[in-house]
Amino acid sequence: MIRDIARRRMREGWKGPLVNWLLRHKDVEGRLGTGACYAVVSVCRHDQCMLSMQPVRVILAIIVVVCSMFFLFTDAHTLPQFTRQYELKCSKCHLAPPTLNFAGRRFLQNGYRFFREERDNKSITDLIKLDRTIPLGAWFSSQPYERKNGVTRIRPFNDARLYLGGGLYRDVSAFMRLDLDQAKGYRFGSQLATLSYNPTDLLNAHVSWTSVTFHDINDTLHSSRQLTLMPNAVLRQSFGGADNGGAIASPRQGVHFSGWLTDQVFYTLGYTGNADDFNIGELSTLSGRLAFEILPVTGYDSFAISAGAFGMHGFNQDSKRREFDRLIGDVQMDIPLIHAPAPGVIRLMGAYLLAKDDREFGGSVHNRAWYAQALFAAMSKGDPTWVPVVRFDEYTQHDGRDRFRELTLNLTYYFVENFRAHLEHWRQIDVPAGSATDRNVILRFVYLY
């Protein structure tokens, strides 16, 4: 029936590529459902592509198609990456993916294994010391609606990521992420990669193309474990620009060490290049981190507080040899609400940064940034469902003369643990005189396999 309608629409002049796709696939109605096919046919007009159609109709069509694909494929693909290897739910390691809980932190530091004893039990033969299962995961996202500063953008395909990681040989593990996204012109490239040696809880060594905080266990300074689509100001601001014009979240070449000094004190040490630098120059960048588990989290129903400090000192590798410093204090708190009408976990987190950068022609500039964030992960049978997030950011530029304030409101819904939707509103609520105020609204679907 759907193919008959598609043929009739083509005779009427509706020659969109999706109509042609419907005609080529005889079983499309059984695979996607009648409602999805009607939605696709209804938006495919003559000589118009997806980006030039009426936004409301495009959004409705994409939502119907995404939901139809969700119902079609959920039963077959419910567990991504490490959960397939261990046959566990995502909530074993995540409060609300991608944020980590206690088990996830230990899993990370054990070289992507729950127990160190696993390292000798998952080899193929005595001569081939590889895990029998090397986790391979994929990320796909669709952004059916974005309105930035009054301009509407629609990206049915937003980005894709390929994850490869896990134990390689006894105490050796690795993790790599390849991205295909619009910001890079849809060219496939490495966003991060790390090779780790994990012999003990006290000492883990890493050679990495990552940010300086990638090996941290807390989420406060970790750019890959944020639920909001807009990163916080502490991670994304370049301040005086002496760090090669980059930010804390920028990838760079580096050698890192991490581990637990005690059961409640975690550290990282790093020797890295400048932001986005493919080499480590002479006297490049040193960084260090201490995090204290004041009340360690031991499970979903436990109260926990952690606090820490991070410092970085480096030299720009240009002819001016400009110095820069970053000093950060951060805190993270989990408050379980087990017997509340809506059981779940409140996570409060924030960080305060002081930045100093040498000017190119003498002197230095001082700036600051901080953020405070609250999220509530509503739980059903131990799994996240609705997760609202509120964040406030403030930062300065030009030696503290210009101040910016921002508000981020995010609502995330988990259809299943590896398929979620984000609706986010971000706006600047205070900018220097004469500056334009930016704002953005995004609807995005994320599927992990």
pLDDT digits (tens, 9 = 90+) for 326-354: 999 999 999 988 777 788 999 999 999 99
**Which pLDDT does position 1 carry in this prediction?**
53
Q: In this structure, are residues 375 and 389 in contact, taking their beta carbons and an 8 Å threshold?
A: yes
- Based on the domain organization, do 264 and 187 belong to the same domain? yes
**Which pLDDT does position 10 carry in this prediction?**
53
- Based on the domain organization, do 160 and 59 belong to the same domain? no
**Which pLDDT does position 23 carry in this prediction?**
53
Q: In this structure, are residues 169 and 129 in contact, taking their beta carbons and an 8 Å threshold?
A: yes
**Which pLDDT does position 188 carry in this prediction?**
76
In this structure, which long-range contacts are made by residues 301-307, counting pairs with CB atoms below 8 Å and at least 24 apart in sequence? 301/336, 301/338, 302/102, 302/334, 302/336, 303/334, 303/335, 303/336, 304/102, 304/332, 304/333, 304/334, 305/331, 305/332, 305/333, 305/334, 306/218, 306/331, 306/332, 306/333, 307/331, 307/332
pLDDT band for position 105 (cuts 50, 70, 90): confident
Say which residue, 102 or 50, is predicted with more confidence: 102
- Based on the domain organization, do 207 and 261 belong to the same domain? yes
Say which residue, 8 or 424, is predicted with more confidence: 424
Tell me which range, 49-58, 191-200, 269-278, 304-313, is most confidently predicted by mean pLDDT. 304-313
Q: In this structure, are residues 103 and 90 in contact, taking their beta carbons and an 8 Å threshold?
A: no
Write the burial class of residue 344 (CB in 10 Å: 0-12 exposed, 13-18 middle, 19+ buried). Answer: buried
**Which pLDDT does position 347 carry in this prediction?**
94
**78 has a pLDDT exceeding 50:** no
**225 has a pLDDT exceeding 70:** yes
**Which pLDDT does position 346 carry in this prediction?**
93
**Which pLDDT does position 263 carry in this prediction?**
86
- Based on the domain organization, do 121 and 139 belong to the same domain? yes
- Based on the domain organization, do 34 and 134 belong to the same domain? no
pLDDT band for position 299 (cuts 50, 70, 90): low
The DSSP 8-state label assigned to residue 355 in this structure reads: E
The domain boundary, picked from 73, 107, 135, lies at: 73
Q: What is the pLDDT of residues 38-77, one digit of tens each?
A: 444 443 433 343 334 445 544 554 554 444 444 333 333 3
- Based on the domain organization, do 122 and 38 belong to the same domain? no
- Based on the domain organization, do 366 and 394 belong to the same domain? yes
The domain boundary, picked from 28, 49, 73, lies at: 73
Q: What is the CATH number of the domain that holds 261?
A: 2.40.160.10
- Based on the domain organization, do 241 and 340 belong to the same domain? yes
Identify which of 413, 422, 345 has the alpha carbon closest to the alpha carbon of residue 377.
Answer: 345
pLDDT band for position 83 (cuts 50, 70, 90): confident
- Based on the domain organization, do 141 and 286 belong to the same domain? yes
Tell me which range, 92-96, 109-113, 317-321, 346-350, is most confidently predicted by mean pLDDT. 346-350
- Based on the domain organization, do 193 and 257 belong to the same domain? yes
What is the extent of the structural domain holding 55? 2-73
pLDDT band for position 301 (cuts 50, 70, 90): low
Alpha helix stretches (DSSP H) within 76-228: 81-86, 102-109
Mean pLDDT of the chain: 80
**308 has a pLDDT exceeding 50:** yes
- Based on the domain organization, do 66 and 133 belong to the same domain? no
- Based on the domain organization, do 132 and 192 belong to the same domain? yes
Domain total for the chain? 2
% of the chain surpassing 70 pLDDT: 74
Q: What is the pLDDT of residues 106-160, one digit of tens each?
A: 787 777 777 655 555 555 555 455 556 667 888 999 999 999 999 999 999 999 9
The domain boundary, picked from 73, 104, 119, lies at: 73
User: For residues 79, 82, 83 and 88, what is the CA-based torsion angle, rounded to 10 degrees?
Assistant: 180
CB atoms within 10 A of CB 16: 22
